Structures are given as C-alpha cells and as structure tokens.
Amino acid sequence: MARRVCRQAGELGKDSTTELWRCAEAFGDSGDLTQAETLAAKLDGMGSEDTIEQKVHMPLIRSITERERGNAIRAADLLAPAMQYEQTLDLFYRRAQAYLVAREPAKAAADFNKLLSHRGSGWWQVYAPLAQLGLARASAMQGDHEKTRKAYDDFFTTWKDADPNIPILRQAKAEYKKLTQPHLPPLQCQRKTSSPFSKVLVPDESLAPTMRNQSDICVYESLRSGFALGIVPESRRASGPSPHMS
C-alpha cells in the first residue's frame, strides 16, 4: 500500500523532503533497494543544507538498505551518530530492527523500550505496537517465554481492530501459534553399525528410559526406511509397526 501511494505521488511529481524520506523507507523495507536509493539521492539533493535531512533521514534510509543487504551490524552502526538528535522515533525503531537481524536481542529490546518510553512523541501511536512486537521477538531470542507471551499479547490487544490481512499481523499470529503449541522432545535415533541392517535407524539406547514411545517410533521408522531401501527381509515386512504404535 505504502509503495503504491509513493509511486502515485512520484508520478504526479509532488516531491517533498518528508515524502522522499518516508517513501525511501517504504521501498527499502519492501526490498526495492534501487527505488529506495533513487529517492535517497533526490532527498540528498533537495536537503543538502538541512542538518536533519543529512544527519538523521539520510542515515535512516542507508540503515534500512544495509539491513536488507544483510549488513545488520553496519545498519545499526550507521544510526549511532544520529541518536543525539532524537528527532524521530524511527531512530530507535530502525536500530532495534537492525539489532534483531544481527541477533543482538538485548540491544534490540533496549531500543524498543526507549521508543515506548517516549509516549506523546510524534507517531508514537504508530510505532508503539510495532515496538511491542519487536520486544516479543527479542524476548523469544533470549528464551524468556513469559516476557515473549506478554509482549505478543500486548501487541494483539493494541491491534485487536486491525485488518487481519495485514502481513505483519499475520506473521505475528503465526509466530505466536508456534510459540504456544506444545513441544514434543525431538526424535532421537542413531545408526547402529553392528546391526546386520546397518542402514536401519535404531533408538538411541542412552535415552531409552525416558523415551519408550519414541523408541517405538524409531523402530517403526527404521522398518519403513528399510522397506523403501529394500534391505528389510520379506519376513519382516509382514510384521508391520510395533504393537505399541496406534
């Protein structure tokens, strides 16, 4: 949607520094780095004498394009000099995004919390729920399940009336569903070279006391693999899976 509006504005030739900055960010977020850099070049020309354009908005655009290219640490570092201005909440949000991509969840959480503490600042109501979602992801990376759930719940509460088809909301719901699903211990099997059927998987005997059901699964999967490879004798094929399997 943002990209479409920006394209329409560009076709009308109605460029302003604010539109160029915001649209360059939108194109960068969507992965259209060529268009983002084209708009950044226009902004650079129009705001060459403007401190905020040069010291804040231009670094923001460059940070996004670097992040999208996989240079997350550089993306975060590009914003360090701009933080002194605190001109826009974008600074906290964009640097936090870069830290998430760089798998620096503690630093990301610190910037998301700074953003949330600036209640009343311009666009706070827009960025606050996104910061809540960012905190959920940062907490998940740190393995703090309680904080993760709370942050997701806060985000969903804030966006309870949002269009359910918004991509970021759909992605967040998928993440939350995965988080709340019960997790079974991973199937632990190993290859037993002493077996006459050396290619057949057998249970990891060291885990046998706690994994009886998984032992049955391993046997079943072993036989099934053997059938497929033709290495299990016909006499074994008639026996089927373990009697404990449902």
Domain boundaries, the chain: 1-87, 113-183, 189-237
User: How confident is the prediction along the chain (246 residues), in pLDDT tens digits per residue?
Assistant: 555 658 655 554 567 999 999 999 999 999 999 999 999 999 999 999 999 999 999 999 999 999 999 999 999 999 999 999 878 999 999 999 999 999 999 999 999 999 999 998 989 999 999 999 999 999 999 999 999 999 999 999 999 999 999 999 999 999 999 988 765 454 454 544 444 444 444 444 444 444 444 444 444 444 444 433 333 344 444 444 433 433
Q: What Rg value do the Cα atoms of the chain yield, rounded?
A: 26
Phi, psi of 129, deg, nearest 5: -65, -35
Q: What is the pTM of this model?
A: 0.71
Helix axes 124-142, 145-158, angle to 10 degrees: 160
Residues 6+ apart with CB under 8 A from 147: 135, 139
- What phi and psi values does residue 201 have, to the nearest 5 degrees? -75, 140
Cβ atoms of 99 and 105 within 8 Å: the answer is: yes
Under DSSP, the state recorded for 203 is E
Distances (CA, A) of 205 to 183, 223, 226: 22, 17, 20
- Residue 100 to residue 135: CA distance in whole angstroms: 10
